[in-house]
């Protein structure tokens, strides 16, 4: 069976470092085209794809003229889907065009710049996909790293969840390559990097807490600690789940502190997940036994892109890639930012039922 023809839309850092290698590593996919705003960027990205007699990659861009536009890719019958990795505010228009053309979409997180936009996009998607059968998957690679899956399973074994603390601290320096993307330096969406990176952390937390402990409401305070990271770079939030559990979510991308830790307390022990290391303590008090499990470092993107390819083959969307799931991740970040904007006024959540 011939691999599924796809196009990659975008030629930025993440496309080069993650999406292209991931697409190349899946035997189910063949990259047939790359589009970027500039031909130069598309050419640079295409260099990463080895050319042989059987395959070649066609380049498209906003500055390439007739027959080489994004819309032209969508007309190609040999291309069944697109991987979209564009600036957050640009993505919706590209998603809608692809779906309208009957192309499957794997689009980078967040699902949209805000919940209102995401809800509209999802409503439109449901209408369009009923006609065209095109599917829309959101790429949240944290859902495809084995450490988080393992940690989530460990939590389930330790009884009722009783508390949690998320601490994610790092300094997004001005010299960082991701900082120097223009759409990130002066973001046109609430929260800047806190939204961009934050949906990864809410996705991870939601996975760890599971469907019995979805977040029901929260209070938060936000701050700008490092002046080069407007509008805000720090969230301190207190979350309450529908099961009545209270926990803290603390994320700063502008701090001198350093941490990457999800602590989940359960009645019969605790799980501490750190991305590649998961420390499980089984039992309470003197009887407690601690086990540390280390996982190979992976972004999860290869697993995620391959899972998407499999879903295209089977016709069944991967439950870890639905826009509804990504909406829940986004809502959790957005409500923390909104509570912060309102100096800590309690926010209720409504899109947390998909976990």
- Total residues at the site for a second copy (CB under 8 A)? 43
What count of residues does the chain have?
355
Report if residue 149 touches a second copy, rule: CB under 8 A: no
Q: Which is nearer to a second copy, 133 or 290 (CB)?
A: 290
Report if residue 13 touches a second copy, rule: CB under 8 A: no
Q: Are 207 and 326 in contact (CB under 8 A)?
A: no
Report if residue 240 touches a second copy, rule: CB under 8 A: yes
Cα distance between residue 45 and residue 113, in whole Å: 26
Q: How far is the CB of 284 from a second copy (least distance, A)?
A: 5
Report if residue 221 touches a second copy, rule: CB under 8 A: yes
What SS3 class is residue 39? Answer: helix
Among 238, 279, 326, 332, binds a second copy (CB under 8 A): 238
Instruction: Categorise residue 346: left if φ over 0, alpha if ψ from -120 to 50, beta otherwise.
Output: beta
Q: How far is the CB of 258 from a second copy (least distance, A)?
A: 8
Stretch that binds a second copy, among 88-96, 240-248, 301-309, 320-328 (CB under 8 A): 240-248
Q: Which two tokens stand for residue 26?
A: 């899946």
Q: Enter the DSSP assignment of 232.
A: -
Non-local CB neighbours of 185 within 8 Å, separated by 6+ positions: 179
Instruction: Show the site string, 248-287: x = touches a second copy by CB under 8 A, - = not.
Output: x-x-x--xxxxx---x-xxxxxx----------x--xx--
Cα distance between residue 43 and residue 34, in whole Å: 8
Instruction: Show the site string, 310-349: x = touches a second copy by CB under 8 A, - = not.
Output: ---------------------------------xx-x---
Q: How far is the CB of 240 from a second copy (least distance, A)?
A: 6
Cα distance between residue 292 and residue 272, in whole Å: 9
């Amino acid at each position: 069976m011939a691999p599924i023809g796809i196009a990659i839309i975008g030629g930025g850092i993440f496309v080069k470092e993650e999406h292209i290698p991931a697409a190349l590593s899946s035997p189910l996919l063949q990259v047939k085209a790359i589009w970027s705003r500039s031909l130069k960027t598309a050419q640079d990205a295409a260099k990463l794809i080895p050319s042989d007699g059987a395959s070649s990659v066609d380049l498209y861009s906003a500055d390439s003229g007739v027959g080489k536009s994004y819309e032209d890719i969508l007309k190609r019958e040999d291309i069944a889907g697109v991987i979209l990795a564009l600036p957050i505010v640009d993505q919706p228009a590209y998603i809608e065009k692809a779906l309208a053309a009957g192309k499957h979409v794997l689009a980078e997180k967040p699902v949209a710049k805000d919940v209102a936009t995401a809800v509209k996009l999802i409503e439109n998607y449901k209408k369009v996909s009923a006609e065209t059968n095109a599917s829309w998957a959101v790429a949240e690679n944290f859902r495809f790293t084995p450490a988080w899956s393992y940690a989530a399973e460990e939590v389930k074994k330790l009884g009722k969840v009783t508390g949690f603390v998320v601490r994610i601290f790092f300094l997004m320096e001005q010299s960082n390559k991701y900082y120097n993307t223009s759409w990130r330096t002066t973001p046109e969406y609430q929260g800047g990097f806190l939204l961009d990176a934050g949906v990864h952390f809410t996705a991870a937390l939601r996975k760890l807490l599971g469907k019995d402990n979805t977040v029901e409401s929260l209070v938060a305070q936000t701050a700008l600690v490092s002046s080069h990271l407007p509008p805000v770079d720090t969230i301190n939030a207190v979350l309450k789940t529908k099961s009545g559990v209270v926990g803290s979510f603390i994320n700063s991308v502008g701090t001198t502190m350093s941490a990457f830790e999800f602590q989940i307390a359960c009645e019969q022990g605790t799980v501490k997940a750190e991305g590649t290391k998961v420390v499980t303590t089984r039992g309470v008090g003197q009887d407690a036994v601690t086990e540390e499990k280390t996982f190979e470092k992976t972004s999860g993107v290869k697993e995620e892109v391959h899972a998407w390819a499999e879903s295209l083959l089977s016709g069944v969307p991967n439950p870890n890639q639905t826009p509804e799931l990504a909406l829940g991740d986004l809502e959790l970040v957005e409500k923390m930012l909104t509570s912060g904007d309102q100096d800590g006024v309690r926010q209720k959540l409504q899109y947390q039922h998909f976990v």
